Amino acid sequence: MKKHFIKLLFFTLISIHIVDTQNLKALVPLYYFPDIKQLKQEALSIGQQAYQLLYFGQNKDSLNFAKLAVKINDQNEKLWIILAEAQIANKLYEEGLFSLNNAQKINSEIPEIYFAKSTIYLKQSKIKKARVSLQSGIKIMPDNFNAIFQLGNIYLMEKNYEKALKEFDKAIKIKKDFWQAINNKGLAYFELNNISLSLMSFKKAISIEENAEPLLALAACLRTQDINEAIFLAKKALEKEPNYVDHNYRKEQLWGEKLQKSTEKLFENTELKKSILLAKTKIN
């Protein structure tokens, strides 16, 4: 009797299991697994979100989204570049170089890779590497006037003023009203003791954009020729941008030693004391 009962119970359980299994087929939903193409598309969408977050200054969130995008698809050079930009924004320079190297392995014909590398090298004060990387990018995109201008700036840092002038001229040939390049020609000419061409450059830059930099630089040029005009221009420049009162700030703008000395001598004039003190309080 016991054996019969156990046997009956066994078949009852089996039948219940079969019935439940059949019912479960109707209850359990079918899961959808995206294919590789759809995953790649999703990675691009996340990458675009990362780029938008970076644009709005949300650097940490951008970095997280960019990392996720690359994790989903590590074979897309654009995603690696976005990740590198997010890393640069978060001052993770070595990580940024790693990402750019990965992008370069996938596609070595993207100029932005080399421009971004140059930016990192400049942050690390590796001037020669920055120049070489920038030159590589310009070979691929020879009409990028911003990159050409930056190459000219690197030559300024290296005190290679003749080469700097050539690069600025190339940039101006592409963009006629590029006042920053015209201004920086004035910086180079002054260090070469060509004051007349320096004056012309600063005046031309001001005619396009009345910016504080060419205003003060022109004032420094006119210090020994027309002190009254120099004082007027210096006051105007410091009102527009008080930071130019600071030696280190001017150095960051690539002002050379000779122009710096002329500016400091101009600032010794008693008529500028009030303007200088006011500018210093504003930057502090």
All structural domains of the chain with their residue ranges:
177-284
Reported as a single tens digit per residue, the pLDDT across 239-253 is 999 999 999 999 999
What pLDDT sits at residue 31?
56
Reported as a single tens digit per residue, the pLDDT across 6-52 is 444 334 333 434 344 444 444 455 555 566 778 888 999 999 999 99
3-state secondary structure the chain: CHHHHHHHHHHHHHHHHHHHHHHHHHHCCCCCCCCHHHHHHHHHHHHHHHHHHHHCCCHHHHHHHHHHHHHHCCCCHHHHHHHHHHHHHCCCHHHHHHHHHHHHHHCCCCHHHHHHHHHHHHHCCCHHHHHHHHHHHHHHCCCCHHHHHHHHHHHHHCCCHHHHHHHHHHHHHHCCCCHHHHHHHHHHHHHCCCHHHHHHHHHHHHHHCCCHHHHHHHHHHCCCCCHHHHHHHHHHHHHHCHHHHCHHHHHHCCCCHHHHHHHHHHCCCHHHHHHHHHHHHHHC
Reported as a single tens digit per residue, the pLDDT across 198-252 is 999 999 999 999 999 999 999 999 999 999 999 999 999 999 999 999 999 999 9
Reported as a single tens digit per residue, the pLDDT across 130-172 is 999 999 999 999 999 999 999 999 999 999 999 999 999 999 9
Range of weakest confidence among 12-16, 257-261, 271-275: 12-16
Q: Domain 177-284: give its CATH superfamily.
A: Tetratricopeptide repeat domain (1.25.40.10)
